[in-house]
Structure 1
Amino acid sequence: MNRRLILKLVVAAFASLPLALPAAAAEKVTVFAAASLKNALDAANAAWSKDSGNEATVSYAASSALAKQIEAAAPADLFISADLAWMDYVAEKKLIKDGTRVNLLGNRIVLVAPKDKASTVEIKEGFDLSGLVGDGKLAMGAVDSVPAGKYGKAALEKLGVWSSVEGKVAGAESVRAALALVSRGEAPYGIVYQTDAAADPGVAVVGTFPEDSHPPIIYPVAILSESKSAAAAAYLDFLKSDKAAPFFTEQGFTILK
């Protein structure tokens, strides 16, 4: 066999091999989200990553802390707040992209107790919360900054019992931190979102606050103005989709979008 024929055979053999195309690099989305979203959002993100091949990384904390980090130029692509006020805060500073903000979820606040010491409490005007708490502490998110704490204080004021328990409040850095105080038995009662209570087997809901006792609990989401992620818009579309909805409703959120 001459050398020219050998060369032709080698070229033909290589030409028949499938071309190995480089895999597309996964896009990453960094999300700043209210601590109360953790269980639902972790599950939603796992589904999104599986379907899209992209990755969502979430930093969970109180909405107040996250808004301040965004103001300080912390790198993030989306912000999901547990109330309208902190989303308004970043919007007023021109830190979200126009046309991307949407009210995504709703929630309720409840009174919880350690599961092994739980008895039903009728939450109504003038109920004796101070007597229930006794010498212990009422665990809440910090009432001047953490959304769950602000909602809780508003409800207690409307029901006429805030002044009797104000001195017994243990203000936590986030609603999950307040939940942990009750779950560990360090506080006999706490005010948290119903979704947080559902996520912790160590507590039981002993009462639900009337919806008209506090402002509506709304979770807005928006893409941040400094986002460079090509997948941010697709991720937001996923959060608003029917496919994502069950991850939130299973944890007790209501869908608003």
Structure 2
Amino acid sequence: MFRALSRFLPLLAAMALAACSGAEKAPGGPAPTVLAAASLQGALDEAAAAWAKQGHPKPVLVYAASSALARQAESGAPADLFISADEDWMDTLEKAGLVDSATRDDLLGNTLVLIAPAKTAANIDLADRSAFFTALGKGPLSIADPAAVPAGKYGKAALLNLRLWEFAEDRLAPGENVRAALALVERGEAPLGIVYGSDAEASDKVRVVATFPDSSHPPILYPAAVLKAAKSADAQPFLEFLHGEAAQAIFARHGFSQPL
């Protein structure tokens, strides 16, 4: 029972906070609850604030790994929008009949980078395996869980493509989401980590030492869609706002790109 409840804790906490502030209610109805990939935190906060400044109720934003959020939606957690960090988890919800397919579209793109603590001076040539493992030393490689979390899945694909996986697999320190992978490097507990370019952009405690070639992993896309269980009339308008010029400019400042 506790494990089932724990899947809802991020959502319940966010909704409770919104209830305390009164942000989830407005004359036009409830504000949309958005299940969003952890890597969107910061950028989506700013976009939601810009939306609220136009007179709309401020969306309730729930951040976690796309895998965890998809499972929350499958379990019946109340939400209006889902923004995933890969196509797979959106496909899962769509096949389960939980997504309004007519509203689904790719919202953003991203890059995959190798990071090190900010004090690290040298860049790394990913084609040079010895350079990679010299930089890793005896420490772990921080990465989001490659078994489920999109950033980790992209990371595994890139390592396989570059023939680094067989050497790195036993050195992984998998995190529950990409921000957890970032934090491990920020704290100096891992000499290297694999995150999105936007995550590296958000932190002054790490620096990018290499960028994985786009050809080394599937395209990094953020599909977004309204959920069929949506109760907020603002769900579709807010999604349209996120696709618009003002919101896209915000995302670009945070290191995101247009979807390919």
TM-score of the superposition, structure 2-length normalised? 0.87
Q: Which runs of 4+ in 1 moved over 6 A?
A: none
Question: Residue 78 of structure 2 aligns to which amino acid in structure 1?
Answer: P
Quick check: 2:125–2:132 contact (8 Å CA) kept in 1? Answer: no
How far the C-alpha of 1:92 sits from its partner, in A, is 0.6
Which consecutive residues of structure 1, in runs of 5 or more, have no partner in the other structure? 1-22
1:118, 1:204 within 8 Å by CA — same for their partners in 2? no
Residue 224 of structure 1 pairs with residue 254 of structure 2: no
Q: Report the Cα distance in structure 2 between the residues aligned to 1:98 and 1:155, rounded to whole angstroms.
A: 30
Paired position in structure 2 for 1:165: 168
Deviations 1:167-206 (A, max 9, x none): 1000000000000000000100000000000101110011
Contact kept, 8 Å, 1:26 with 1:55, in 2: the verdict is: no
> What is the alpha-carbon distance in structure 2 between the residues aligned to residue 228 and residue 248 of structure 1?
26
Relative distance call for 1:50 and 1:117 in structure 2 (3 A) is same
Alpha carbons 1:107, 1:217 under 8 Å: kept: yes
Contact 1:34 1:82 in 2 (8 A): yes
Relative to the length of structure 1, the TM-score reads: 0.88
Q: The residue matched to 2:59 in structure 1 has which SS?
A: strand
Residue identity in the other structure for 2:145:
A
Equivalences for residues 123-134 of structure 1 within 5 A: 123-124=126-127, 126=129, 128-134=131-137
User: What is the letter of the counterpart of residue 90 of structure 1?
Assistant: L
1:99 equivalent to 2:102? Answer yes
SS in structure 2 opposite 1:120?
Answer: coil
Query: Residue 68 of structure 1 is aligned with which of 67, 71, 76?
Result: 71
Q: Does 1:143 align with 2:143?
A: no
What is residue 44 of structure 1 aligned with on the other side? 47
SS of the residue corresponding to residue 33 of structure 1 reads: strand
| Matching residue of 2:9 | none
Which protein is bigger by CA-based radius of gyration?
A: 1
Superposed displacement of residue 128, structure 1 = 3.8
Matched, 1:234 2:237: yes
- How far, CA to CA, are the matches of 1:112 and 1:75 in structure 2? 36
Of 220, 242, 247 in structure 2, the residue corresponding to residue 244 of structure 1 is 247
* Unaligned segments of structure 2, at least 5 residues: 1-25
Corresponding position of 1:16 = none
Deviations 1:38-78 (A, max 9, x none): 01100000000110322201110000000011000011100
| Structure 1 residues 248 and 191: CA distance shift in structure 2, 3 A | same
1:196 partner amino acid: D
Count of residues in Structure 1 that have an aligned counterpart in Structure 2: 235
Report if the CA contact (8 A) 2:125-2:131 is conserved: no
CA contact (8 A) 1:125 1:160 kept: no
Identity of aligned residues (%): 49
Is 1:178–2:164 an aligned residue pair? no
Pairwise CA RMSD of aligned residues? 1.4
User: Would the aligned equivalents of 2:144 and 2:181 in 1 still touch at CA under 8 Å?
Assistant: yes
Q: Distance in 2 between matches of 1:233 and 1:201?
A: 35
